[in-house]
Chains A and B, each alone.
Chain A
Amino acid sequence: QQQVKQSPQSLIVQKGGISIINCAYENTAFDYFPWYQQFPGKGPALLIAIRPDVSEKKEGRFTISFNKSAKQFSLHIMDSQPGDSATYFCAASIGETSGSRLTFGEGTQLTVNP
């Protein structure tokens, strides 16, 4: 299975709150898990990425938590800001054999209210 399942489809958070987006995968060969942020009319931009040899990675207000046994990973946005309002995509790839082609989740539309 090459699918990556993402939830929720949409999320509304108040300014200063925590936004949490979850993803699950089936293919245990996936070994690279990036998150992309996409604003309307723009292309996706890499936000943060993790490999399965670590359980957590933090960059500023963004944290990825990774649970290898459950085949799940999540994005946490701390102190969410209205400027974070965008669509977020999780993705996965098998780096060694596929030239890093990305399999994307369905996306989560995040709205942060002021």
Chain B
Amino acid sequence: NAGVMQNPRHLVRRRGQEARLRCSPMKGHSHVYWYRQLPEEGLKFMVYLQKENIIDESGMPKERFSAEFPKEGPSILRIQQVVRGDSAAYFCASSPKWGYQETQYFGPGTRLLVL
């Protein structure tokens, strides 16, 4: 059973470009979380999604960031018009269902560098 897959593992973008980060949850998992880890900091919650639904996006910046988890295919975190402050590691986690203290399994992350 493959773990959470994220790609690309490393992404370099110039200021103003778009970044698309993909996350394929573990088989059988229908809940996806995105977290951002700035250098030398802990992980910060961004958004929680189920298939075709955004459940909680309270951690998402109000502009330029969006996320989706379509019926088919991976979850996508999209950052438009990237700025240097977006440079960070972005982690996706999945769980089998919403529930009391469901374990979240993390992917290896995408390291975004904005030049």
Contacts and interface: CB of A to CB of B under 8 A. Distances in A.
Mutual binders A and B: yes
Interface of A: 6, 31-32, 34, 36, 41-46, 49, 51, 89, 93, 95-96, 98-107
Nearest to B106: A43
B13 to A, nearest CB: 20
Given A99-B48, A102-B35, A104-B44, 19 more contacts: A36-B106, A41-B108, A43-B93, A43-B106, A43-B107, A46-B105, A49-B101, A89-B43, A93-B101, A95-B99, A95-B100, A95-B101, A96-B100, A99-B55, A101-B48, A102-B43, A102-B45, A106-B41, A107-B42
Given A43-B91, A43-B109, A93-B101, A99 B45 contact: no
Contact of B106 (A6, A31, A44): A44
Nearest to A33: B101
B104 interface: yes
Interface residues of B, number: 29
Interface of B: 4, 6, 31, 33, 35, 41-45, 48, 55-56, 59, 91, 93, 95, 98-109
Contacts of B101: 31-32, 49, 51, 93, 95, 100
Given A49-B101, A107-B41, A42 B56 contact: no
Please give me the 8 A-B residue pairs with the lowest Cβ-Cβ distance, nearest first: A43-B106, A104-B42, A32-B101, A95-B100, A104-B43, A95-B101, A106-B42, A101-B45
